[in-house]
Structure 1
Amino acid sequence: MTADDRSGGRLEVIAGPMFAGKTEELVRRVHRAQVARRGVLVVAHELDTRSGPGRVASHSGLEMPSRSVRDAEEIPGLVAEGTELVAVDEAQFFGPDLVGVVTALADTGLVVVVAGLSVTFDGRAFAPLPELMSVAESVTKLTAVCAVCGRDAAFHVRLEATPADDDALAPTSGHVGGSESYEARCRQHRAG
């Protein structure tokens, strides 16, 4: 691969709280690449079972076929010849290893789009998103709508305390939690 072949590689990050439309934006970008007849690989973590294995799905119901993996290190092995865009949903499930994997993919000339939570339910930075944002060519930071007042919400909260409150992910019933477990909140209403 020549230096010119690698010039198109880049990392794009879509970040925000729950219910901000991160997966919808990821699906929109994938769809545009497909319309342009670019080879696409969509990857989800196996913990995201909102619509069953082999699909990424938004809270609003948009879905797209995907490949499910347990670890970030599995992603490069899924990249087939002709792939130009790699889309990764629910980045927070992959942990810090995702940063090196997607950076290496972008370095080979691929466009890599990663979507994930930027904050935990208690308002802390959610790794690896801060690290990914720092090495990305572009970052799209989305907000949701506060469930209390309707303002822009950069946070989400867990509605009920659980024994796993120290677990930032705390999947509900073995899957990614939804509106039954979480609400988007603005800065003013994130504490209650």
Structure 2
Amino acid sequence: MTDAGRLTVIAGPMFSGKSEELMRRVRRATIAGVEVLVVSHSLDTRSDISTITSHIGMNIPAVPLGDVESLVEAAGAEDYDLVAIDEAQFFGPDLVPAVDDLLSRGVDVIVEGLCVTFDGAPFEPLPSFMAVAEEVLRLTAVCTVCGRDAVFHQRVDRTEARVAGTGTASADSERPTVAATEIDASHVGGLDSYVARCRKHFTGVAR
């Protein structure tokens, strides 16, 4: 009987180092001779779509996929020991049974992504994964107001969007309002669109 796989979750707000931690674990596994499939979501076009790139410029090769069905197909194409999924929130709740199936087949899975929306609500499927994982790494960012641990990120006010540290108006300052749990390209962004906030300074709209 095949041993079940092990589920690891790397979660937190934006700018907390989630992608860097995923990359570190993937590199260690590769050095150890583990067959790894690294998956990114094709919605994330901030950099080369065939890589995972962190906010500080680190990157590793990845297979860009647009839905859970494609992920399942890619994971079954070869005999992988580990499947590492970047920005898991983009795949939605349907990712949960797909990962359960991989684990039942003896494949280890690392799921990395946002566990909180930009308006401060739980962001599935990360909370569901966190409840049943063998390991959960919950990371925090640094509040850009006071420097304390930031468990939230919030969207910059679209009428007064500023590129962090420059005082220059952002090009996407007129982007349409989209629900925090509705996945589209407006959820992809960096310091020009989002900021990290501690509980005290989190307002849901940057100031």
TM value normalised by structure 1: 0.91
Match of 2:185 in 1: 171
One-letter code of the match for 1:13? V
Whether 1:67 aligns to 2:63 is: yes
What are the Cα deviations for residues 111-170 of structure 1, in whole angstroms up to 9, with x where unaligned? 100001011111000011111111211111000000000000000011123532424456
Closer, same or farther: CA 170–83 of 1 in aligned 2, 3 Å: closer
CA-atom RMSD in angstroms: 1.5
Q: How does 1:68-107 map to 2 (within 5 A)?
A: 68-79=64-75, 80-107=77-104
Match of 2:23 in 1: 27
**Corresponding residue for 1:121?**
118
Structure 1: gaps spanning 5 or more residues: none
Bigger Cα displacement from structure 2, 50-59 vs 144-153: 50-59
Instruction: Tell me how far apart the structure 2 counterparts of residues 81 and 92 of structure 1 sit (CA, whole Å).
Output: 24
* Shift in CA distance, 165/74, structure 1 to aligned 2, threshold 3 Å: closer
**Separation of aligned partners in 1, 2:146 and 2:105:** 45
Note if contact 1:88-1:115 (Cα within 8 Å) is conserved in structure 2.
yes
| 1: CA distance, partners of 2:72 / 2:179 | 32
Q: In structure 1, how many angstroms separate the alpha carbons of the residues matched to 2:27 and 2:109?
A: 14
Question: In 1, Cα distance between the equivalents of 2:81 and 2:130?
Answer: 21
Percent identical pairs in the alignment equals: 54
Q: Distance in 2 between matches of 1:126 and 1:81?
A: 30
Aligned to 1:111: 108
Q: Between Structure 1 and Structure 2, how many residues are aligned?
A: 186
Q: Give the alignment of 1:6-25 within 5 angstroms.
A: 6-7=3-4, 9-25=5-21
- Check the 8 A contact 1:10/1:107 in 2, yes or no: no
TM-score, normalization by structure 2? 0.85
Distance 2:97 2:40 in 1: 17
Equivalent residue, structure 2, for 1:137: 134
Contact 1:73 1:97 in 2 (8 A): no
Instruction: Give runs of aligned pairs for residues 47-62 of structure 1, distance below 5 A.
Output: 47-62=43-58
CA contact (8 A) 2:43 2:184 kept: no
Q: Deviations over 1:20-58 (max 9, x none)?
A: 011111111100000101100000111011212211111
